Chain A
């Protein structure tokens, strides 16, 4: 009990005395701490000075106690057998000859103290057990010192972790259950006590001083609570330790040799270290997969797009995303294989076009839902939504998600969250798949037909219709109009580097429609003979601006100069809440190398553009067409002016609320 007069000296001793004593005790203690089996943690120096200042009183007591330990051992633990005592003596003798190398008899000690650098931390503080001098410390001492160690790790960084680790270690040891239980409770109580405090993490020398002064002020108040808890815990521990000691001594009569013990020690350490590595890797890998923004491998990403065009630095720069999927494994990764496949297809340009990407995404989501099993203790509505959000993050990194895809997923998640929790899994999944099917059918396929019908009414005989690159809605409209027997000409305009217009030309020529093909620079020349312009859209914004393939705004401008009406074909599910006013703030940057690849040999001037420091290449995906340049928007619900978009959005939203 005399050991535990921890509360005694607190108020009385002044700071200087404490520090001096603490420092000296530190010095003496630290000498013995270094050994081959113990890791030296770098952070210990900072926190050790801090901790030492803060809890020097406690330290002092403890160090005093430790020094007294050998003498008191025999008195406190009368249950030690003769053999143990002799062993102790032998060890003491051997230790005096050799350099201070740790020799520990207790497995428990080892596990408690060695595998965790944090507990090392506390040892560095001059705490813990002076094992050299004592030879064998009792369990009780371990426990007490361990507790002290935990408490003195007073950085918030270490707080919870240390306690948890101590918990785990205790679980893995062979200590008596009762002992573990009391320790646990004591740990919990100290944890609570610590929570009440507000120690800032000790990160720098400047902070230390502040903390020191704070420590001295607050110590008087707060550590009392701690110490009380400590005392209680120690008392409990001591009582139980006496009981456990008996069991311990029985085991120890097995007379293990020094070498085998050392080997055992090392094995335990290695096992724990390995376990730590594995858990760390898994954690970091999981984090990397889902949350890493732009570069997995910083070395490679630096080569990718080091040059950022000034105006577009705020946008995610293009990067080859095979890097993203390089480290993914199909089995055992967080992502469903169909999402990985879809991500790759979209990023490589295999699946292109707003509608196509949306349909592909919904099909993949359907598969995911069908394979989905609600984990125990979780609700389908919340868990599935979280999973889908993860998948969308991944897809966003493969290629920035299209507005149509985002709208479709928003619609789906709204449905998921409204799902009643009383229905079982299979019923829920069935409903979700039905919902997806309905969405594809109504919003995409039927909408396309409706648009074709509406647009067809606008095309008359002897019309010359100008269209730009490849839009699925316009393609459908033109083909249907031709099928109705109308006689008209089409001018297909194309632009570098994608040259999607060739696909459009191929479809129209196959149909038998009379076509011309020009590049976008020749549009003012050809616009004289054009009677109407029909464009597709990526999305329509709430302020009436049309977001579409880069170049559409130019064509609308030229058409306005020649007084040619511009019609935009767009499904209503692509209407979005965005209200941007220029094409720079929200856009997608495509691969700048597309501008310089696949060129004939006499035109490869910019092959090595990366090497010229002042040279930048810009490859935009989208641009915004102001509403005054557009005459009419053809949608599945009718022909509207551009400015009606917010009306449609409101009606749709109201409709979905009812559902």
Chain B
């Protein structure tokens, strides 16, 4: 039964029918939870192996969709933690080798081969917690909006991000008066956000992608969502975010990223064309449906994602609090186990 569900999920992932990292993450978590509950496993080691297999197949369906891989790694970390705590040891504080640990090296029991009856329940409980975290991350972040938006501000954002939408609407509900400038992207997702915000009474202006630098001098803050946060604190965001970040840096405008922590991925970017970083949309979105004789002789490029280096980002606001980009790598150790970085 869980196989059927997994197959369905993989199918929808492959054909890009799902949109929104939150939704994808929740569905992936559901699949894994079902696997934990219903599959046959005796030791943690077995569970880890089978989870890795399932996870790998989900990741391969859509390699650029980091949320899936992140959730898989989170679950693996939970399993490891629960095993460690069930054994009586407190959760390994810092699995990465610190100098002190190296001096006091004791044999670590990380076989995970001991049979522990209470493990399943503990794991399922933790998975429920994770599920709750995924569901409430949006509202958690939105509650912090009053600390970042003052009155009479001009805020710029790009495209349509659920997180940013709830963030801004929360502040507007609490009677903070501010304006929003929305950059429409070529896919016109900015139009949806603008309409939504305007209908809630926020003064919204829609501008084209080309006018970003022209308007940036009058913007107080840039608040964007992102697809993933790279391990070095960089962003993998919607195409156009890099321009926004560059313009903001030039005009000394703070560039704030609102993202739930499950978007943090242990990947690093070495090259723009590295595997599984970027994907390309249909050329029809760029050229429209006519003009074949001209466009047929030219190369049409339509990247979906943009890399934003960490130097251009001022602040990350996530459900576990605010962080500078330089600190993001530290959070990795809290969320994932280093052995799981390469699945």
Contacts and interface: CB of A to CB of B under 8 A. Distances in A.
A419 interface: no
B209 A553 contact: no
B239 A557 contact: no
A62 to B, nearest CB: 66
A518 B286 contact: yes
B249 to A, nearest CB: 9
A603 B298 contact: no
Interface string B177-196: 00100001111100110110
Nearest to A606: B191
A209 interface: no
Interface string A554-592: 100110010000000000000000000011100100000
A518 to B, nearest CB: 5
A614 B201 contact: yes
Given A509-B298, A517-B298, A605-B192, A309 B303 contact: no
Contacts of A523: 243
B203 A614 contact: yes
Contact of A616 (B191, B204, B212, B250): B204
B214 A553 contact: yes
Contacts of A505: 294-295, 298
Contact of B301 (A497, A522, A606, A614): A522
Interface string B204-239: 111111111111011000000000000000000001
Contacts, number: 164
B214 A583 contact: yes
Nearest to B217: A582
Given A502-B294, A515-B297, A599-B188, A497 B194 contact: no
A521 B186 contact: yes
Interface residues of A, number: 54
B144 interface: no
A517 B294 CA distance: 11
Contact of A584 (B204, B206, B214): B214
A595 B300 contact: no
A109 B242 CA distance: 85
A516 B300 contact: yes
A157 interface: no
A321 B129 CA distance: 62
Nearest to B196: A605
B236 to A, nearest CB: 12
Contacts of B206: 595, 606, 609, 615-618
B301 A605 contact: no
A381 interface: no
B205 A525 contact: no
B302 interface: yes
B242 A524 contact: yes
Nearest to A468: B210
B240 interface: yes
A623 B213 contact: yes
A525 B243 contact: no
Interface in A527-549: 528, 549
B287 interface: yes
A614 B210 contact: no
A13 to B, nearest CB: 67
Contact of A554 (B184, B205, B247, B301): B247
Given A517-B299, A603-B188, A618-B215, 16 more contacts: A492-B298, A506-B294, A516-B298, A516-B300, A517-B286, A517-B300, A521-B239, A523-B243, A550-B210, A551-B211, A554-B213, A554-B243, A558-B243, A612-B198, A616-B205, A624-B214
Interface of A: 309-311, 492, 495-497, 502, 505-506, 509, 515-526, 528, 549-551, 553-554, 557-558, 561, 582-584, 587, 595-596, 599, 603, 605-606, 609, 612-620, 623-624
13 contacts: A496-B184, A502-B291, A509-B294, A516-B298, A521-B239, A524-B246, A528-B272, A554-B213, A558-B242, A583-B214, A612-B198, A618-B206, A618-B215
